[in-house]
Amino acid sequence: MKKIRLLLFSVIPLLFFNDARAQLFGTDVKVYDLPITNEHNPDVDVAFNGWAYDAYAIDTGFVLRVSRDSGQTWSTIDEYSGDDAHIQHVKLAVASVGTDTTSIRVFLMVLENDTVDLVGQIYINSYDGYADSFIAQNFYRWLPDNAYQNIDIACDYKYPSVASSPYSIAAAYTVDQVTDDDSVIYVVSTDGGETYGNQFTFDVSSVNHYRNVSIAYGRSFTAANGRYFLAWDEFSNNSDEDGRIFEAYTNTNILDAPTSRYRLDTVGALAGGLARRPCISVSANNTNNDSGSCTAIVAFERDINGDGSNIDVIAAYNKRAHFTNYWNKLNIDIDADIDQAPNVCFEPVNSNFYLTYFDSSNKRIAVIRNSFNLLVPTWGIITNNCADDSLVLTIPNPIVGIDPTRNTPVMTWAAPLILNNVVLYDAQLSNWALAIKTAAITATNSGTRNRIDWRTATEEAGSAFIIERSTDGMNFAAIGSENGKGSASDYTYWDETPASGMNYYRLRTKDASGSISYTKVVSAFVKGGNTFSVVAYPNPVLNSVNLYRSGDEATNATVSISDLSGRILLHKAVNTYETVIDMSSLATGIYLLKYSDDSHNEVIRISKQ
C-alpha cells in the first residue's frame, strides 16, 4: 500500500441542557488543512476515558486519527491510499475491556471500490487504541462489479455480551449484484473482533435493490441478552431516489437469526415509497422502558413531493423495541425546505437521544435532543446551527456521538474550501442550569447497612430521586426512591440489604418536565464476615486510591505499587481495613497494586490518569 499524509475532521463537545434554552457555541476551529484533497463521510467514536477517534474517506484512501484532549489536537494512527482505490465509506467502533486504558481497541470498517478492475471490497481493521498501532485485518469480503453499497459497525463494549468474550463487534452491509440476488448482511464477532464466524441475511431480493444500512446495539434491564438492530432502505430500481425503510433485529440474542422485517416509511399513515437514508439508535443502558424493553429510533429522509423539492426528516420510534408492532411516527423537521442526512445516537447516563441533520435550504447543521421515554413527542433544540461558516456547506454529512466522560455529544462534519474539504472543531461555552441541583451526596457504612445522604441546592415541585446501586461501578439498578420536597432540602436513604464488599451509589434525578440527570457516584464498604476480599477504588485513579480489605484480622499486611516490569515504586504497611495510597507522584500509566499478609496475596491492575 502506498501511504500518504493527510488531514482531518472535527469533534465538537456539546453540553447537556434542558430544552428551554439554546446552547452557545464558540468559533469553529480548523483541525487540519491539506490543500487539493477531498475529505468526506467522516465518522467518530469516543472511548470510555474520553479519547476521541475519527476516520474519514478521501478519494483514494482513508485516514484514522485520535485526540486525547477533547478535540484540541489530533494525531494520525493510520492512513492509506491506493492508486485505483475509491473509498466510499468508513465507519468506526471503539471498544475496551472494562476501564483498562491499555485494552482500548478501534475497529475501522471500510468500503473500497477498485476503479479499474471494478472489484468491491469491505474489510475491518483493528487497532490498538492505546499504542496507536495496527493489529490485524480479521474480516475481508470482495465481490465483482463494485457490488457493495453501504456499511456500518457497532459494538456492545459497555454492556455484557451473550458470550464469555470481552465484547462483541457487529457489522452490516448491503449488496447490489448484477447476476445474483441483492441482500442485507449481518456479521458478528463474539471474541473481541478476532473472528467473524456468525453471519445472517436480514433481507434478500431478486427484484429490489438495497442501498443504505445502519446498525445499533440495544439492551434493557429485564432482557436476558442484548440484541443488534438494523435499519435499511430498499428501492424498486437502482436509479430511484426514493424507496422504502425496513427494520429488524436479532431475535433473542446477538447470535440469533433476525426477526421478520418491519416497514417504517408508512408508519403513522404516511404515504409509502418516499423515504431513504435511515439511521438507527437504540437505548442500551440496562434500563427498562415500556414492557421491560428498550427504545429504538430510526430517523430518515422523506421526499414529500417525490421530486426533491421538499425533504423532511422523520423518525419512527418504538418504546417496546423487542416487540415489532409498536412503531409510531415522530416528526423532526417538517418545514417546507430540504433537510438531509439525519444521524442519531444514544447517551446512556441521562437516557437521551441526540440527533443531527443538515438543513440545506437554510445552510445549517441542527443538533436536537429527546428523552428515551418520549413523554413529549417533540425534540428540544440544542442549537439551530453548530457551524459558523455554514453558508459554504454542501454535503457535510454531520455525525453525532457521545463522550462518556461528560455524557455529552460530540459532532463532526466536512466543510468545503476552494480546493478541498476541511473539517472543523467547535466547543461549547456554557452549561445549562438544571432544575434540580444536588449540592452534596455521601454514602457511609453502619454495620450491615449503608446510609446515603444528599442535599439539594435547588429543586422544584414534582421532582423525584431514584437511588441506584451497583457492585461494579458500571451497571446500576434502582433500589428505592424519594419524592422531592419542592425546595432546597436534606435527604437520607438507608440501604438495608447492601452486598458484602464495595457498594456504589448514585441518584437519578427527575424534574417536573421529565428531564433526567445523574449525580456523581459515591461508595460504602460492607465487611463480609470472615470472607476475605480486597477492593481498590477509584480505578482509574487521579491522585489517590482507597484500599478496602474485609475478612479476618490480618498480620504483617502490606501494600505495594509497582510498574508492569515489576519495579516497586511505593510500599507501606496496612494496619486497618481501609488504607489510602497516594499516587499523585506517579506518571500516567498502568500499575500493579499488590496486597500481602501472612495468609493472602492479591494483585489489582490500576490505571493512573
| Residue 18, pLDDT score | 31
Q: Give the per-residue pLDDT at 36.
A: 62
Q: What is the pLDDT of residues 408-452, one digit of tens each?
A: 788 888 877 655 565 554 544 333 334 556 657 889 988 889 999
The Cα–Cα gap between 56 and 266 comes to: 33
237 occurs within a structural domain = yes
122 with 207, same domain: the answer is: yes
Same domain for 445 and 374 = no
418 and 491 fall within a common domain: no
Find, among 315, 304, 395, the residue nearest to 355 by Cα: 315
297: Cα within 13 Å, side-chain hemisphere: 28
Torsion sign (Cα): 570, 572, 574, 575: negative
Residues 463 and 594 in one domain: no
Residue of higher predicted confidence among 404 and 360: 360
pLDDT tens digits, one per residue of 5-42: 233 333 333 322 233 333 444 556 666 666 667 788 89
Residues 266-281 have a mean pLDDT of: 95
Quick one: cell of 502? 464495595
| Within a domain: 15 | no
Residue 294 located in a structural domain: yes
Report the amino acid identity of residue 32. Answer: Y
Long-range contacts of the stretch 36-39 (C-beta < 8 A, 24+) = 36/419, 36/420, 37/6, 37/7, 37/420, 37/421, 38/420, 38/421, 39/6, 39/7, 39/8, 39/9, 39/63, 39/414, 39/420, 39/421, 39/422, 39/423
- Judged against a pLDDT cut of 90, whether residue 293 lies above it is answered with no
And the C-alpha cell for 533?
Answer: 476480599
Asked whether residue 572 falls in the same domain as residue 519, the answer is no
Give the full edge-to-edge strand order of the sheet including 182-189: 148-155, 169-175, 182-189, 198-205
Looking at 526, 544, 566, the residue that finishes a domain is 526
Res 290: pLDDT? 76
Percent of the chain with pLDDT over 70: 82
Is residue 16 in some structural domain? no
- ∠ CA(255), CA(295), CA(50), 5° rounding? 80
Which residues constitute the domain of residue 565? 533-608
Task: For CA atoms 169, 172, 177, 182, give the dihedral sign.
Answer: positive
Do 370 and 457 lie in one domain? The reply is no
Name the domain boundary from 482, 504, 526. 526
pLDDT tens, 178-200?
Answer: 878 899 999 999 888 999 989 99
User: How many CB atoms neighbour CB 439 within 10 A?
Assistant: 11
- Percentage of the residues of the chain whose pLDDT score is greater than 90: 34
In this structure, the chain runs to a length of 609
In one-letter notation, the amino acid at residue 604 is: I
User: One-letter amino acid identity for 549?
Assistant: R
For residue 96, being part of any structural domain is answered with yes
Listed in sequence order, the residues at least 6 apart from 6 whose beta carbon sits closer than 8 Å to its beta carbon are 32, 34, 37, 39, 58, 61, 63, 76, 79
Q: What is the CATH number of the domain that holds 581?
A: 2.60.40.3080
Residue 286 above 90 pLDDT? no
Strands (E), 193-253: 198-205, 209-218, 227-235, 244-249
Strands (E), 319-448: 328-333, 339-347, 352-359, 364-371, 380-383, 399-403, 408-412, 414-416, 421-425, 437-446
Q: Are 104 and 51 in contact (CB under 8 A)?
A: yes
> Which pLDDT value is given to residue 155?
93
> Which of 403, 425, 447 is where one domain is finished?
425
160 with 207: CB under 8 angstroms?
A: no
Q: Are residues 383 and 522 in the same domain?
A: no
Amino acid at 237: N
What is the distance between the alpha carbons of residues 50 and 171, in angstroms, rounded to a whole number? 24
Q: What is the pLDDT of residues 102-123, one digit of tens each?
A: 888 999 999 998 878 888 999 9
Judgement on whether residues 471 and 412 belong to the same structural domain of the protein:
no
The answer to whether residues 239 and 106 belong to one domain is yes
Asked whether residue 5 is assigned to any structural domain, the reply reads no
